[in-house]
Amino acid sequence: MINSFKPRCFLAVLFYTLGFVYGSMGKADSFRRKVSLELNPGLKPSSTTPPGVDLLHARAVGDNDTLHFLFCTVGAPGVLLVHTNSTQSSVTVNWPVFLSRNASGSLRVEPEDSVQYSSVLVFTRLLEYDDLNNTADPQTNESIFLESYNLQDFSWSDMNSTLNLTLNTVKICGRNKSYSFSNGSLCLQFSAFESEGREEAWPSLPHTANTSQLHVWLEGVMPRANQSRFVLELQTVNRAGFQTKIDVHRFIDDEYTPSIFQVSEWQSSPANSTSFVGGFSQWKPVAYRKKTPVLEDATPCKNSPPTSLDRRPPSALVSAYFTHNPIIHGINISFSVAGDPFYSSTHFLSWTLLMGMGTPPSDFFSPLVMAIMAIGLGTPLVLILVGGVYVCIRKKDPSSYEPIN
């Protein structure tokens, strides 16, 4: 009996230890949502939207809640996120009003009392400045900002030609009819996700079923100055009583995004509650100067602190959905650092942002780091175990201490 107990005891301890180590290192999230994409919900088949005016509805249904993402090019491009505690909630659009000058109240998520959280992220402006002293600091370049590109004045491509219902993605490209954009455009790719994962292309942000991703790139645009650099202005709209802040988290592993050891999170939460997390935008502070980048094509980006704004961003989503006085915050994302090549070196710049609800996904240790840690932690552990079991065998082995009687 004692002899058969020994290996079992050893294996149990070993499996328990390994289970504990892996359990605490990689918490696998099996949470899934059923995602379906619909273009221009509720629009009669006989009617069409004007060219370049589209509303994509991504419906992500969980066990007992639904996330609605609405990606829209009526006005400046933006995404409305609505979280409801029902699996039956739906989006209704009053199209004639939605497309009119005053879209107020024309977009609703029903039933209204199922709505737990809602916010809009709008890409409002593309700013360009002449970085004469090569400081990449737009603050010191106040005087040499060129006239900004207002994204609500851009004409955007139709979503129906790029909608991919297999990958749950859509791509739009926009341009201003000026000379600078004659061969170039500003593009956005929206992706919705059914489960946890990460894209292979850098920055390979980890995503979950509670997030969607916006990949933004500026390609082939003619810079208006010899040493042009760009800044992107973003604005968020939340219900009254919300506040926003940007947190930076650092980590020790850059395997998924080479040379980047931090992530920025712009979170919105109710001013008087610490437990409820609202929504977030998350990005790694890096942009790329080539479409298929190598490490040398990475360039840092910086964000300005969020400022409170009075005017609603020019997106139909905002005027149509937020009928009461919402609160508005804005940030600028400026690309590059002093000494890095100017936009004209490649005529390309890309950046990626994740937006979602709840707790932002965090970059967990990669398999390589986990293996190193397992060896580092595991070797002494195995030695202790082997030593312990050896002592245990020596003590319990009946032959080693026969009763003396």
Extract the tokens encoding 392: 């245990």
Question: Hey, is 10 helix, strand or coil?
Answer: helix
Residue 226 binds ligand NAG, judged by CB under 6 A:
yes
The single-letter DSSP state of residue 135 is -
> At closest approach, how far in Å is the CB of 245 from ligand NAG?
15
CA distance 59 to 36: 5
> At closest approach, how far in Å is the CB of 68 from ligand NAG?
14
Are the beta carbons of 100 and 93 closer than 8 angstroms? no
Binding range to ligand NAG, per CB under 6 A, among 5-13, 258-266, 292-300, 330-338: 330-338
Extract the tokens encoding 359: 């707790």
Residue 332 binds ligand NAG, judged by CB under 6 A:
yes
Residue 30 binds ligand NAG, judged by CB under 6 A:
no
Among positions 7, 19, 197, 241, the unique one binding ligand NAG when judged by CB under 6 A = 241
CA distance 300 to 285: 6
CA distance 344 to 341: 8
Among positions 37, 58, 127, 263, the unique one binding ligand NAG when judged by CB under 6 A = 127
Q: Which of 363, 374, 324 is nearest to 104 (CA)?
A: 324
CA distance 15 to 302: 46
Q: Which of 118, 83, 124 is nearest to 315 (CA)?
A: 124
Are the beta carbons of 83 and 67 closer than 8 angstroms? yes
Restricted to residues 367-396, the positions that interact with ligand NAG (CB under 6 A) are: none
> At closest approach, how far in Å is the CB of 287 from ligand NAG?
17
Residues 6+ apart with CB under 8 A from 299: 286, 287, 288, 289, 335, 336, 337, 340, 341, 349
Are the beta carbons of 186 and 216 closer than 8 angstroms? yes
Q: Residue 239, Cβ neighbours under 10 Å: how many?
A: 17
CA distance 284 to 303: 11
What element of type H or E holds 9? helix 2-25
Contact letters for ligand NAG, residues 70-109 (x by CB under 6 A): ---------------xx---------------x-xx----
Sign of the dihedral defined by the CA atoms of residues 108, 270, 306, 204, in that order: negative
- Select the residue whose beta carbon is closest to ligand NAG and give its number: 330
Among positions 12, 167, 294, 383, the unique one binding ligand NAG when judged by CB under 6 A = 167
Binding range to ligand NAG, per CB under 6 A, among 14-22, 164-172, 362-370, 383-391: 164-172
> At closest approach, how far in Å is the CB of 341 from ligand NAG?
16
Residue 233 binds ligand NAG, judged by CB under 6 A:
yes
State the pairing for strand pair 185-192/327-335. Answer: unpaired
- For ligand NAG, which is the closer residue by CB, 17 or 148? 148
- For ligand NAG, which is the closer residue by CB, 17 or 162? 162
Residue 344 binds ligand NAG, judged by CB under 6 A:
no
> At closest approach, how far in Å is the CB of 128 from ligand NAG?
9
Residue 400 binds ligand NAG, judged by CB under 6 A:
no
Binding range to ligand NAG, per CB under 6 A, among 177-185, 280-288, 289-297, 335-343: 177-185
Residue 134 binds ligand NAG, judged by CB under 6 A:
no
Please report, as ranges, the residues that interact with ligand NAG according to CB under 6 A.
29, 31, 48, 62-65, 85-86, 102, 104-105, 113-114, 127, 132-133, 138, 140-141, 144-145, 147-149, 153, 158, 160-161, 164, 166-167, 176-179, 182-183, 208, 210, 222, 225-226, 231, 233, 241, 270, 272, 304, 307, 330-332, 358-359
